[in-house]
Amino acid sequence: MKSFNYHAPKDVKDASKLASSSSAFLAGGMTTIPSMKLGLASYKDVIDIKNIKKLSGIKVSGKTVTVGATTKHVEVASSKEVQKAIPALAKLAGNIGDAQVRNRGTIGGSISNNDPSACYPSACMALNAVIHTNKRKIDAEKFFVGMFETALKNGELVEAIEFQIPEKADYQKHPNPASRYAIIGVFVAKHKKDVNVAVTGAKSCVYIDKDLSKKLSSSFSAAAIEGMEVKSSGMNSDMHASAEYRANLVSLYAKKAVEAC
In this structure, the strands spanning 45-48 and 5-7 are parallel
To other proteins, the closest distance from the beta carbon of 75 in angstroms equals 11
Cβ distance to other proteins smaller for residue 33 or 228: 33
Sequence-distant (≥ 6) Cβ neighbours of residue 14 within 8 angstroms: none
Q: What share of the chain is helix, strand, coil (3-state, %, to 5)?
A: 35, 25, 40
Sequence-distant (≥ 6) Cβ neighbours of residue 113 within 8 angstroms: 31, 32, 148
To other proteins, the closest distance from the beta carbon of 50 in angstroms equals 7
Cβ distance to other proteins smaller for residue 34 or 234: 34
Cβ distance to other proteins smaller for residue 77 or 127: 77
Cβ distance to other proteins smaller for residue 105 or 121: 105
Cβ distance to other proteins smaller for residue 74 or 212: 74
Long-range contacts of 138-147 (CB under 8 A, 24+ apart): 141/208, 143/111, 144/111, 144/114, 144/205, 144/206, 145/114, 145/205, 146/114, 146/204, 146/205, 147/114, 147/116, 147/204, 147/205
Cβ distance to other proteins smaller for residue 78 or 242: 78
Q: Which residues here bind other proteins, judged by CB under 8 A?
A: 1-6, 8, 26, 29-30, 33-34, 36-38, 46, 48, 50, 97-101, 103-104, 178-180
To other proteins, the closest distance from the beta carbon of 108 in angstroms equals 16
To other proteins, the closest distance from the beta carbon of 45 in angstroms equals 10
To other proteins, the closest distance from the beta carbon of 31 in angstroms equals 9
Half-sphere exposure for 60 (CA within 13 Å, toward CB): 13
Nearest partner of 188 among 168, 210, 165, judged by Cα: 168
Cβ distance to other proteins smaller for residue 48 or 211: 48
To other proteins, the closest distance from the beta carbon of 245 in angstroms equals 23
Long-range contacts of 239-248 (CB under 8 A, 24+ apart): 240/176, 240/183, 241/183, 241/184, 246/183, 246/184, 246/201, 246/202, 247/202
DSSP code for 71: -
To other proteins, the closest distance from the beta carbon of 55 in angstroms equals 15
